[in-house]
Amino acid sequence: MKTIAIFQGYFFPHVGGIERYTHNLAKELKKRGYHTILVTTQYEPNLKIQENLDYIEIFRLPIYSVFSSRYPIIKKNQQYRRILHKLEEKNIDSIILNTRFQLTSLVGAKFAKKHNIPCCILEHGTSHFTVYNRILDFFGHIYEHLLTNKMKTLVRDFYGVSKACCDWLKHYHIEAKGVFYNAIDVKEDELYKEHERKIDTSEKEQSKDSITILFAGRLLKDKGILLLLEAYAILRKRYNNIQLKIAGEGPLEEEIRKQKDVVLLGKLEHEDMMKCYKKADIFINPSYSEGMPTAILEAGLMKCAVVATPVGGTKEIIQNHENGLFCDTNVESIVETLEKVITNEKLRENLANHLHKTIIEKFSWEKTASEVLKKIQYKG
């Protein structure tokens, strides 16, 4: 049995695109007889240092408390050294580093170099890392370039979770070797069809009279959530049959709680999130930047009509006016685009059906795992 190790800054219960990517890839690798080790951080003190799940073995490196929620800084203490020693005993065949700029990736790159283990970096973003402070971001971008240059001396092979991520790597004078697409478990489509059949008649009748708009993701400024709230306030004055639901957690939670007629669902387990997609009519993703948005894939699988900004890998999923609608990152455009699907039921159905077909055909974990196993190098 071959062993693949993945290094990244965070994992569950922290929820984000990278976490879901690793979760699903590891599950698919297990089906194929591979053992996956995850090396991440102990960003909360109650998290176990070592943990074995059904599909993945987890090691959590100690970190300093400063910036732990955005950029974990590794603490190279006795616990750190014990974990590296345990990893040396695992006979790792290949290493995947999620992102260039997390310090876990630097640890993984040095570990791979020291033990002569083939290693690649998987890019998930299409813009610089940000903490939403102009001065800190200026110095942060310099730091990111310096760290990336260091990574280039340690790792030869770079990939992206979308073509847009590969294009972003050119900013650092890196030519990516290929794409390991973000994806979803397309078999879930059948599971949630059964759920739909169980929704009682009264609930279905009630849903016909209202239109649910759904947002799901980290509640951050760069996800466009503040623009969405402004747009919804305008639309709510025009249409009394619409409702905005927001799923996720993050720094903007308190801002959202102040809004009228907005339902904040908080952080949802995967099954509950998929049910929300199934009940929603429109999914909105007004993000400023994306790698390859899992939420759009999940919403499309559940037959939501999608409105999104044409950023990053979104353009590799959505073809404007064919299986979704694009809006710009401004309030007026979001209002205008949402209004088109709010007022046209037939358009909503057509967009949803075409997007569902696209996702079933192109974005399955079976295809992504096959590509990963075909392209990565192995020790020996």
CA dihedral 278, 284, 288, 291 (to 10 degrees): 20
Contacts of 179 (CB under 8 A, 6+ apart): 159, 160, 161, 162, 163, 165, 166, 371
pLDDT per residue as tens digits for the range 245-281: 999 999 999 999 999 899 999 999 989 999 999 999 9
Q: What confidence score (pLDDT) does residue 201 get? A: 46
Q: What confidence score (pLDDT) does residue 68 get? A: 86
Exposure string for 365-377, b = 16+ CB within 10 A, e = fewer: bebbbebbbeebe
106 pLDDT tier (thresholds 50, 70, 90): very high
User: Where do the domains of the chain lie?
Assistant: 3-183+365-375, 188-362
The residue whose two tokens read 């976490």 is: 19
Q: What confidence score (pLDDT) does residue 192 get? A: 59
**Structure token pair of residue 315:** 């353009």
pLDDT per residue as tens digits for the range 124-169: 999 998 877 889 899 999 999 999 999 999 999 999 999 999 999 9
210 pLDDT tier (thresholds 50, 70, 90): very high
Q: What confidence score (pLDDT) does residue 134 get? A: 86
Q: What confidence score (pLDDT) does residue 205 get? A: 46
Residue 15 half-sphere exposure toward CB, CA atoms < 13 A: 16
Q: What number does CATH give the domain 188-362? A: 3.40.50.2000
Same fold, 3-183+365-375 and 188-362: yes
Residue 330 has pLDDT above 60, yes or no: yes
204 pLDDT tier (thresholds 50, 70, 90): very low
Rounded CA-CA distance 113/68 in Å is 27
Residue 323 has pLDDT above 60, yes or no: yes
- Please give the average per-residue pLDDT across 18-26, as a whole number: 95
Q: Give the residue among 96, 93, 141, 98 at the shortest CA–CA distance from 123.
A: 98
pLDDT per residue as tens digits for the range 293-309: 999 999 999 999 999 99
Rounded CA-CA distance 101/137 in Å is 14
Residue 334 has pLDDT above 70, yes or no: yes
Q: What confidence score (pLDDT) does residue 17 get? A: 86
- Please give the average per-residue pLDDT across 227-238, as a whole number: 97
Tell me the average pLDDT of the chain. Answer: 93
* Residue 74 near residue 39 (C-beta atoms within 8 A): no
**Structure token pair of residue 21:** 């990517």
Q: What confidence score (pLDDT) does residue 199 get? A: 55
186 pLDDT tier (thresholds 50, 70, 90): confident
pLDDT per residue as tens digits for the range 61-75: 999 998 888 899 999
Q: What confidence score (pLDDT) does residue 107 get? A: 98
Bridge partners of residue 51, in order along the sequence: 58
196 pLDDT tier (thresholds 50, 70, 90): low
Residue 188 has pLDDT above 90, yes or no: no
Annotate 117-141 with DSSP letters as a single string. Answer: --EEEEE--SS----S-HHHHHHHH
- Please give the average per-residue pLDDT across 165-179, as a whole number: 97
Residue 286 has pLDDT above 50, yes or no: yes
Which whole-number Å values give the CA distances from 63 to 6, 60, 67, 74, 88, in the listed order? 18, 9, 10, 4, 20
Q: Assess if CATH 3.40.50.2000 describes domain 3-183+365-375.
A: yes
